[in-house]
Each structure stands twice: as C-alpha cells, then as structure tokens.
Structure 1
C-alpha cells in the first residue's frame, strides 16, 4: 500500500472548539513541526489542545511516518534532500552568508526569535521530499478532509497550496484556513467564489526585505487573498512586524514567542465564532 498519509489525533472529553483543528506541515518537514520546538518547549499541538481544540497532526504522502514509495517505478523523479544550512537563509533566521557548520561562527539576524542554539536539533527534523508528488499529496489531503471534517486547517509553508485547494474542493467541510507563511496558491485563473464562507487568516513573520524570494511568494499569496475578498469572502492578514512584533522567522511555531503568535491566531478564531 503506497501513497497514503499518516495522521494521529488527540480528542478532548469536552472541547471548546466547534470543530477539530488539523495541523499541516511544510516542505521537507513532518508533523513533528507542531509537536515540540527544537529547544524542547511544547509545540502548537499542546497549545491548541489547552485552548480546547481536538487536534490532528499529520505527515503528508512521502513524509516521515507516511513513508515513501519506489522511484521511478511509482514516484516520478528522485527525492530532494535539504542541506543542514539551506534553511538558514530560506527560513529567514539570518542571511545565507551567515551560515557556518561551526555554531560559534553562525550569524543570525540580531533580532531573530528563532532559538538559534537549537538549529542543529531543528535540522534533524528534515526528511526527504519529492517535487513530483503534488497530485498524490493533494488527493490524500482531500480524502483526509472528507473523512474527519468539518474542521479548521492550520497550515505551514508548502502545505498552504494543499490547504487552499482542499478548501476549494470541499468548502462545506472546511470552516476556516489559517495559513502560516504559505508558499503557494491556486493558479491566478482559479475561481475563489467557493470560499466566500470559509474565512482565511494569513500570518507573516519578519525580514521579508532580506529575501526577494519571499517577497515574490508573499505577493502571490496576497493576490490570492485579494481574490477571496473580491469573491465576497474573508481573507485577513496578520503581519506581525506591522503589529510591533519583530524578529519572527519562517518557522513561527518554533520561535521563542510561538505561544504569543498562537494566542493571536486563537483570538482570531474566537472572533470568527469557531469556539463555543
């Protein structure tokens, strides 16, 4: 059996949330993203359980506990392996030229909130990924939504496009989408009108001025948010630096202020009527 995904859940005896919360990870990562931070603090899985949500954590097709399949017989192409230092600049912990194998020589942004002393622990969470399996991943996520929802989806990075498309495929099943620095969107020609009753929140960290790559990604995502609004829906933006919160990396759920960020998301869900 191949092309399945892994999911585990914790259900509360008396949840406050009206629907379960599904946590979807980003590229080269797994559900461990949500379980603990690299420096050993409880992750968002525990934070949102404490706020009264039933919480599901998953590993997408070909990631972590889901396992992967033979290539090229089943998966087209070969796996991609992220190097230990690639994310230093890509995830906006510091300038890429500030990366060093020697921890004592690494240069992060002076205000970074990522726990830089735990970078090596974070690097150990990276797993192989494919660039040719989007259709299999999307199909499994769509089946997941059909099986366990109605729900609220909290999604990170590469997972953003999968969540946007899952909501388009089953708008009656998805009560809201919270996208943490999503890196992809449906095509510019996609009709966003099915999402008019599915509120979206998009959350951005800091140091976009240091990354033309992320400036381009952010422009695409905010155009998609505009398409949702033009179709009569809700697409709110939580720009943390604009609200006076400086130094967040791409890995917001691991930064030293991760609970503060989660609290702002929780407040948004409260305002959207997603809690009892």
Structure 2
C-alpha cells in the first residue's frame, strides 16, 4: 500500500461545500512507547464474558504491556510540508480533537492534509486507542471524569459558572462565541477519563514517537503544552518547529536555551481576561516565550483578537472559524520555510 494512491471523499455537513477528494499515498497506524509491568498477589477470579456463557478463570497476576501511545498517520500524495506534522491533544481528550468538528465540518487534520502535510495524529497514554492500565496498581490515583457542564464553562465557551444548560437555547455563550453550540453534545462524547499522575509516561511515549517519526513539526494543545516543549528540549535536533495552541504548561525554564534553534508559535484565543484561570496560564506561556527570545531563539505570540480573529474558545480547532485560525498557522509555517506555499 506504500505506493498506492488512495482517494478519500470526506463528507461534511453541507453538500454544497463538498471539497475535492484527499489523495493519499499511504495511511495507517501504530503504537509506540510503553513498558512491561509485573503484577502479583491478586486473587484469581471467575468471569462470565457473555451472558449465559461458560465462566472462565482469570488470573490477574502476570506481565502487562502498559503506557503505550496510539498514532494514526496520513501521508499525502503531493507532499508540501518540509517535515511531518505531529498533532498532540489536550487533557481528557483524544486525537478526535483534530478530526471532524462537533458540528460536522472538517477539522485541522484535513486542513493540513489538504495543504500537503504528512499528519501523525495520536491518542496519548491513557486515552482512547492507547488503552488503560490497572489503577492504582499501575496508573497511580484515580481518573478524573468531567460533567457535561465542565468543559462548557472551563474552556471559555460559556460565560463563566452556571452558563451551561442542557437546552442549547438556554446556554449563556461568550458574546460572539465561535464555538458551534449546536454540536456541544457531540464534543462531550469525545471526553475521556484523565489521570493527573501519568505525565512522565506520557512524555516518554511522545519522545518515542519523535524518535520513530521525526525530524518533524509539532502542533500541541492545552495539557500537551508541557509535553511539546519538554519533548523538544529532549530532542532538539529532531524538532524543527513548535506550534503551541493555548498551552496549559511549558517546558523547563532552566533549559530554555535548548529551544533557541527551533521556531515557536504560541496562539491564544478570546475571552482570556474574563476567565479566572487563563490570565495566569497565558502569563506563564508569555514568560516562557520571553525566555526563548532572551536565549536568542524565535518565539512568536499571536493573540487572535489582536489579529482581528475574534470569538475563539479554548477549543479553537473546533470553532466555526477553525479554518481561519489554521490559515494563520499555515502562513507562519510557510514564513519559517517549513512548508511550500
């Protein structure tokens, strides 16, 4: 299949807006990273897997494969990116973040594929097709689960606390919000459990992906902010560009000079000053960008409202103007010589 041209007609919400098929030379997936762990001292159990079936004895003691990451790749027939583009999602989410939007439009995965990027989209450790492990035996602590209201109020979609309502017509959106309110339920269906104790394992898996795929450019969102910068600090020779979409964390300030040869872009959406947490989170990102510049590197910061792009939530890759934000990123990549116009 490596040399086969595969044309995919990807459906979108309105037939009148149907785009040209995407021509691929290959697509596939793999798991990367992880480790083997021994568990002992557990009782043997009898399990009935199918109602009315014959019970089977399950011995939970033994060796387990854990902390791996799932990666799906799409390689365009007409490649224009100088390097592959890795997409890393945020907390409590999966690679679905970059796929079809909750209201049925094309996501950033398709956008950058159409512009000739080889895209590697992942489900990080503990998410989606990466799989789980026993907790607290292996995944320490318990997972965090989110109510349907939590992302609406925390991701600057709704106008603060108590802005969510099950009835879309009764929700209080940020004024001029670009998030597709009619698709919000579809967004909550993407949410997955999140552990707060697996950062080391997640970073290790991301570095394993870099070792397998790169040199590359990495686009990362929210929780992956710390992973993106730290992975680049661990493999500066293999990372050629960093796009931090509202990073919730940063790299090691003591090693910021390691990033001076890697052009970086930090993108922030709207309504930040109206939020209780995001002014401080953004200030941390700006301070880290200042450190990169002080070390002689390039770190460009774009506040979308100041660039004339208004109404964006924390989930800007899903917002109604997601293509406009992606175009800004694409222009930056071209300006850094990382993509052909």
RMSD: 0.9
Shift, 1:120, TM fit: 0.6
Q: Name the SS for the 2:250 alignment partner.
A: coil
Q: Name the SS for the 1:153 alignment partner.
A: strand
Shift, 1:187, TM fit: 4.2
Which residues of 2 match residues 79-158 of structure 1 at below 5 A? 79-95=143-159, 96-158=161-223
> What residue number does 2:84 align with?
20
> What residue number does 1:171 align with?
236
Residue deviations 1:14-48 (CA, integer Å, cap 9, x gap)? 30111010010000000000011000011100000
> What residue number does 2:335 align with?
271
Which residues of 2 match residues 175-190 of structure 1 at below 5 A? 175-188=240-253, 190=254
Residue deviations 1:86-119 (CA, integer Å, cap 9, x gap)? 0112110122221122323211012000001111
In terms of Rg, which structure is larger? 2
**Residue in structure 2 matching 1:195, options 259, 278, 287:** 259
Q: Name the SS for the 2:76 alignment partner.
A: coil
**Residue in structure 1 matching 2:289, options 205, 219, 225:** 225
Does residue 259 of structure 1 match 2:323?
A: yes
Q: Name the SS for the 2:66 alignment partner.
A: coil
Shift, 1:245, TM fit: 1.5
* Distance in 2 of aligned mates of 1:105 and 1:258: 24
Q: What 5-or-longer segments of structure 1 have no aligned partner?
A: none
Residue deviations 1:139-193 (CA, integer Å, cap 9, x gap)? 00011111100000000100111000000000110000001000001244x2211
Q: Normalized against structure 2, the TM-score is what?
A: 0.79
8 A Cα contact 2:179 2:319, kept in partner: yes
Q: Name the SS for the 1:192 alignment partner.
A: helix
> What residue number does 2:127 align with?
63
Q: What 5-or-longer segments of structure 2 have no aligned partner?
A: 1-64
> What residue number does 1:47 align with?
111
Q: Name the SS for the 2:68 alignment partner.
A: coil
Does residue 248 of structure 1 match 2:322?
A: no
Q: Which moved more, 1:87-96 or 1:19-28?
A: 87-96
* Distance in 2 of aligned mates of 1:101 and 1:91: 17
Q: Normalized against structure 1, the TM-score is what?
A: 0.98
Does residue 213 of structure 1 match 2:245?
A: no
* Distance in 1 of aligned mates of 2:315 and 2:250: 19
* Distance in 1 of aligned mates of 2:268 and 2:304: 6
Deviation above 3 Å: which 4+ runs of structure 1?
Answer: none
* Distance in 1 of aligned mates of 2:85 and 2:195: 26
Shift, 1:212, TM fit: 2.4
* Distance in 1 of aligned mates of 2:266 and 2:284: 12
